[in-house]
Amino acid sequence: MNVQETLSVQVKKAVKNLYQVELESVEFQPTRKDFEGDITLVTFPMLRQIKTNPVQLGEAIGQYLVEKNPEIQKYNVVQGFLNIVLADQYFLNFFGRIKDDANFGKASEYAEAIMVEYSSPNTNKPLHLGHIRNNLLGYSVAEILRASGKKVYKTQIINDRGIHICKSMLAWQRFGNGETPETSGLKGDKLVGNFYVKFDKAYKEEISYLLAQGKTEDEAKAEAPIIKDAQEMLRKWEAGDKEVVELWKTMNQWVYNGFEETYQKLGVDFDKNYYESDTYLLGKNVVAEGLEKGVFYRKDDGSVWIDLTDEGLDEKIVLRSDGTAVYMTQDIGTAIQRVQDFHINGMVYTVGNEQDYHFKVLFLILKKLGYEWAENLYHLSYGMVDLPSGKMKSREGTVVDADDLIEEMTATARKISEELGKLDGYSEAEKEELYRIIGLGALKYYILKVDPRKRILFNPEESVDFQGNTGPFIQYTYARIQSILRKADFDYSQPILDYNLNDKEKQLIKQLQLYPETVQLAAENHSPALVANYTYELVKEFNSFYQNVTILGTEDETEKKFRVQLSKSVGEVIKSSFELLGIQVPERM
């Protein structure tokens, strides 16, 4: 039982004794910094049941608690707030329990299994900043869910088929001259992306030609020879045409190799890849079953629909009149497939908020089909990453390329580190690894610290900060702590039970105490931002402690040991929470 629960019971008892009233609920909050105290009882809500004034009530309860609970040192009352000061012993006991707990804050057992999908790239172009946000968010949420006590499988769905890849393939055939990643020296995804752009250019030329011939825009777009050729190529692919399938495999493989390189640099990974070419036919039989159950209905033209007007939504098509699948069909089938493959009891889809409606409908359909795990589906809907000029568009070249961005961040980290020149004794390889950790830390923290739902405005002209509320600031604090631990060449392992805490030390312990509930809250809300902000608060407290209190310089042995222990624990929690964000921490910087 934590303090709040214990106090809650005691407050109820106090009120019963003093006023003969059974309280419905007891409300606590952390004491604000400007007042003395560690936890505060809000007495306003009690006034509904107890006829007295808030100050008298606070005094009465305060007195009762001090007498009955040895962990309470004293109290003060301000208006309807009873500020309670807990004894040092209480904090020392808590710290003693966690100081050697390597798993502090994280669950050690798995209650249930779920899957997190956090990437769904098209194989016709390289990854950009939008994908980075998607990847980082999903990876982090997967880690947070695992820490909160779930078995987690990470997956991506690769959109490897469709008209988009055919466009790249066609352009490669026409303009490629047999170019490969090897001959061109280009990363495979970049090479294929270039041909996508070339296709678009040729397509646009044909459209303007047709417009000049007097066609309408719609006609021109539909009749341009190159788009018809691409559609023909898609038909051939679906028919299993050998030559087309061969080219498709080759170019997709180039892209996969390129993606893998980017994922590795980003530090994200997957337990299982699903490919759309394998899943795009799934779901049709489920639609048939749903028809029989009456969940869906067939229109005269043969198309199949679901009526969601009762839920305030529209009618939605689930099968075309020619019997082919739409995206929804596929997603229904894939979801069922995944549950079978992994025996999971739920899924998190990390997909941009432009698809809010799609997932609302998907989840509803799966519920109506009677899958009990449909209750545990969650769309982790994140805001778009926009540029000052507006939306990123691959075809118009207004994208922030993922690889380029990672490289720029690393370069900035290199520049700053070299200016500061604190890395004597590091080899070139060690330095490069460090620049990568810092650069990536800055990028990841920058993206993860904001609420997933909010859109991010990324200005390429203004570089990402390395000072203040940033990844490097937190990494720097970790490195400082490690420096202290390297210098603490004495045994500081024994628990310290009798000690007078100063204000900074107490603040730090209180912040450490919040870690487990922060992890749980972040899991419930699918929000790495909560972990990021928690860590920032912890680090700010530590830096204040570090700068205002001497750690190794003190004469008092107990004090010295305790401060080293405290520093070590703070370092461990920084490392632990940054692992949840997918950010590494350095020994020096």
497-516 residues near RNA, rule: CB under 7 A: none
Tell me the three-class secondary structure of 1-35, residue by residue: CCHHHHHHHHHHHHHHHHHCCCCCCCEEEECCCCC
- Give me the count of residues in the chain: 589
Question: Cβ 177 to RNA, closest distance in Å?
Answer: 29
Question: Cβ 231 to RNA, closest distance in Å?
Answer: 12
Task: Name the CA radius of gyration of the chain, rounded.
Answer: 30
- Residue 50, CB half-sphere, CA atoms under 13 Å: how many? 27
162 belongs to the binding site for RNA (CB under 7 A): yes
Among 232, 246, 271, 314, binds RNA (CB under 7 A): 314
How many residues contact RNA, by CB under 7 A? Answer: 92
Among 208, 550, 556, 558, binds RNA (CB under 7 A): 550
How many other C-beta atoms can be found within 10 angstroms of the C-beta atom of residue 144?
A: 29
487 belongs to the binding site for RNA (CB under 7 A): yes
- What is the spatial distance between Cα 415 and Cα 362, in angstroms, rounded to a whole number? 48
212 belongs to the binding site for RNA (CB under 7 A): no
Cβ contacts of 209 within 8 Å, gap of 6 or more? none
- Please report, as residue ranges, which positions from 333 to 392 form the binding site for RNA (by CB under 7 A): 353-358, 383-384, 391
- Please report, as residue ranges, which positions from 422 to 441 form the binding site for RNA (by CB under 7 A): 422, 438
- Please report, as residue ranges, which positions from 291 to 310 form the binding site for RNA (by CB under 7 A): 299, 301, 303
156 belongs to the binding site for RNA (CB under 7 A): no
Nearer to RNA, 122 or 148 (CB): 122
User: Closest Cα partner for 125 from 222, 206, 198?
Assistant: 198
Question: Cβ 182 to RNA, closest distance in Å?
Answer: 30
- Residue 475, CB half-sphere, CA atoms under 13 Å: how many? 28
Among 416, 426, 492, 495, binds RNA (CB under 7 A): 416
546 belongs to the binding site for RNA (CB under 7 A): yes
42 belongs to the binding site for RNA (CB under 7 A): yes
74 belongs to the binding site for RNA (CB under 7 A): no
- Please report, as residue ranges, which positions from 43 to 72 form the binding site for RNA (by CB under 7 A): 44-45, 48
168 belongs to the binding site for RNA (CB under 7 A): no
Among 22, 34, 372, 489, binds RNA (CB under 7 A): 34
Helix or strand (DSSP H, E) at 580 = helix 557-581
Question: Cβ 167 to RNA, closest distance in Å?
Answer: 13
User: Closest Cα partner for 86 from 6, 18, 24?
Assistant: 6
Question: Cβ 379 to RNA, closest distance in Å?
Answer: 10
DSSP 50: S
Pairing of strands 297-298, 272-275: unpaired
Nearer to RNA, 181 or 334 (CB): 334
139 belongs to the binding site for RNA (CB under 7 A): no
Query: Tell me, what amino acid is at 144?
Result: I
In contact, 412 and 466? CB cutoff 8 Å: yes
Question: Cβ 546 to RNA, closest distance in Å?
Answer: 5
Nearer to RNA, 30 or 370 (CB): 30
Among 218, 310, 322, 461, binds RNA (CB under 7 A): 322
Among 131, 284, 449, 568, binds RNA (CB under 7 A): 449
Which of the ranges 14-22, 101-109, 232-240, 471-479 carries the binding residues for RNA, by CB under 7 A?
471-479
Among 14, 15, 40, 146, binds RNA (CB under 7 A): 40
The pair phi, psi for residue 310, each rounded to 5°, is -65, -30
Helix or strand (DSSP H, E) at 385 = strand 385-386
Tokens 């329990």 -> residue: 97
Among 135, 156, 279, 533, binds RNA (CB under 7 A): 533
547 belongs to the binding site for RNA (CB under 7 A): yes
Among 21, 186, 245, 317, binds RNA (CB under 7 A): 317
166 belongs to the binding site for RNA (CB under 7 A): no
> Binding mask 220-259 vs RNA (x if CB under 7 A, - otherwise)?
----------------------------------------
In contact, 47 and 91? CB cutoff 8 Å: no
Cα 353–chain centre separation: 14
Question: Cβ 276 to RNA, closest distance in Å?
Answer: 7
Q: Which two tokens stand for residue 24?
A: 């419905």
566 belongs to the binding site for RNA (CB under 7 A): no
- What is the spatial distance between Cα 195 and Cα 175, in angstroms, rounded to a whole number? 8
Tokens 């007498």 -> residue: 67
Among 113, 465, 514, 520, binds RNA (CB under 7 A): 465
Cβ contacts of 310 within 8 Å, gap of 6 or more? none
- What is the spatial distance between Cα 544 and Cα 551, in angstroms, rounded to a whole number? 12
- What is the spatial distance between Cα 460 and Cα 398, in angstroms, rounded to a whole number? 11
Query: Tell me, what amino acid is at 403?
Result: D
Nearer to RNA, 408 or 451 (CB): 451
Angle at 59 between CA 55 and CA 63, to 5 degrees: 175
User: Closest Cα partner for 499 from 563, 553, 551?
Assistant: 563
- What is the spatial distance between Cα 98 and Cα 91, in angstroms, rounded to a whole number? 11
Which of the ranges 64-72, 181-189, 210-218, 528-536 carries the binding residues for RNA, by CB under 7 A?
528-536
Nearer to RNA, 180 or 544 (CB): 544
